[in-house]
Amino acid sequence: MAEQSGGVLVVGEVDNAGALRPISFEMVGAGRPLADALGQKLAVLLMGSNIGDAARSLGAAGADRLLVADDERLRDLTSEAATAVLTQVIRDVDPAVVLMPGTTAGRDYAPRVAARLGVGLAADCVELAIEDGGLVAVRPILGGRVQTAVRMPGSRPQMATVHPGSFEKATGDRTAPEAEAVPVELHEAELRVRVQETVQGGGGSADLESAEVVIGGGRGLKEPESFGLVEELAAALGGVVGATRAVTDAGWRPHHEQIGQTGRTVTPRLYMAVGVSGAVQHLVGIQGSDYIVAINRDPDAPIFKIASFGIVGDLFEVVPALTAELKAAQG
């Protein structure tokens, strides 16, 4: 790994089984234009255990260099281990820009890496560009009501975390570069935290981030019992159920179903908003969906501004009728 990139380094992410998370292809999609604008290489780093197949798939999405830190001690990638490995890779590669996923894990280790390197960090970015040879990162502030452009001219590398669902996913149809093994040198202090067991959160097994169809319910449902309508529609479409923050704060649905800036970010093929007004904080979590269908009786609801299709009507009439038609069509 002696060759230095001087370009862009992006970090992918795998689950405990070594399978790529969707955010990984989005990271390549975010980093490729930056590397091209700089006229330099795009390096991709993947950390985990038994990740050879995942690394090749990600490398085929458009990487010039493929760096693989494959070690059993990285199976349950703790913040300390990720910080140590990524910091060493950055020092070896010396990239101009480093992009990390704005996931639960990435948000944990990214500021630690920045602190070790003594550089700045633009967090939760929704747009990225190169201007005058430097990174310009656009990120939401004030609860998502305002976006601001951040520049870090005094930092090398210039670092940012990417808000999931903000960039188009790169497709893995290219020839993957040969994988370069990253030496994994971890001190005992960096292994003091160990994952003993992973337990699925109570109340559901749905993986909102990877679902192809998500049905989101809002306060327009009026009461928790009305979520039965959302569940039936989700079942008819083979989808999963999500909710707005107002709904989870009210105790109508479990918090692991919350979608939005302070919850999950979803990028399904289809997102249906049932009784969702469309607060900015919620829209941030769904803007990466391919198609958004909104059902709301208020024609001026903000959700209609980003919806691919809108149905203005009483959800208590529209949703049962839609569910019945779907079931009839399925025989």
- Count Cβ atoms below 10 Å from residue 312 Cβ, excluding itself: 14
pLDDT score recorded for residue 5:
55
Q: Please name the residues in contact with 132: beta carbons below 8 A apart, sequence gap of 6 or more.
A: none
Render pLDDT for 145-160 as a digit per residue (tens, 0 to 9).
Answer: 678 898 988 889 999 9
- For residue 96, which amino acid is it? A
pLDDT score recorded for residue 137:
92
CA gap 198, 195 in Å, rounded? 7
**Greater model confidence, 321 or 187:** 321
pLDDT band at 2 (very low <50, low <70, confident <90, very high): very low
253 and 217 Cβ atoms separated by less than 8 Å: yes
- 8-191 and 208-329 have identical folds: yes
pLDDT score recorded for residue 187:
73
Q: pTM to 2 decimals?
A: 0.73
Q: Does residue 186 carry a pLDDT above 80?
A: no
Name the phi and psi angles at 187, rounded to 5.
Answer: -85, 165
Render pLDDT for 61-73 as a digit per residue (tens, 0 to 9).
Answer: 989 999 999 888 8
Name the phi and psi angles at 216, rounded to 5.
Answer: -100, 135
How far is the first Cα of the chain from the last one, in angstroms, to the nearest whole number? Answer: 58
Rounded to 10 degrees, the C-alpha dihedral 320/324/330/331 comes to 150
In the chain, the percentage of residues whose pLDDT exceeds 70 is: 93
pLDDT score recorded for residue 198:
66
- Count Cβ atoms below 10 Å from residue 308 Cβ, excluding itself: 12
> Strand 270-274 relative to strand 213-217: parallel, antiparallel, unpaired?
parallel
- Using alpha carbons, select from 230, 244, 234 the residue that is nearest to residue 284: 244
CA gap 128, 214 in Å, rounded? 27
pLDDT score recorded for residue 228:
94
In the chain, the percentage of residues whose pLDDT exceeds 90 is: 56
Q: Does residue 226 carry a pLDDT above 90?
A: yes
208 and 259 Cβ atoms separated by less than 8 Å: yes
> Strand 240-243 relative to strand 213-217: parallel, antiparallel, unpaired?
parallel
Q: Does residue 205 carry a pLDDT above 60?
A: no
pLDDT score recorded for residue 204:
45
pLDDT score recorded for residue 4:
54
CATH 3.30.365.10 assigned to 8-191: no
Lowest-pLDDT range of 130-134, 210-214, 219-223, 280-284: 280-284
pLDDT band at 203 (very low <50, low <70, confident <90, very high): very low
pLDDT band at 262 (very low <50, low <70, confident <90, very high): confident
Q: List strands edge to edge, sheet with 179-181.
A: 121-125, 158-162, 97-101, 8-11, 42-48, 65-70, 179-181
How much is the average pLDDT of 168-180? 84
Mean pLDDT for all residues in the chain: 88
Helix axes 23-38, 52-59, angle to 10 degrees: 40
Question: Taking the domain 208-329, which CATH number applies?
Answer: 3.40.50.1220
How much is the average pLDDT of 159-180? 86
Helices (H), the chain: 23-38, 52-59, 79-93, 104-117, 227-237, 245-249, 280-283, 315-329
pLDDT band at 121 (very low <50, low <70, confident <90, very high): very high
- Using alpha carbons, select from 156, 80, 79 the residue that is nearest to residue 118: 156
Render pLDDT for 62-114 as a digit per residue (tens, 0 to 9).
Answer: 899 999 998 888 788 888 989 999 999 999 999 999 999 988 889 999 999 99
Domain range annotation of the chain: 8-191, 208-329
Identify the three-state secondary structure at position 106.
Answer: helix
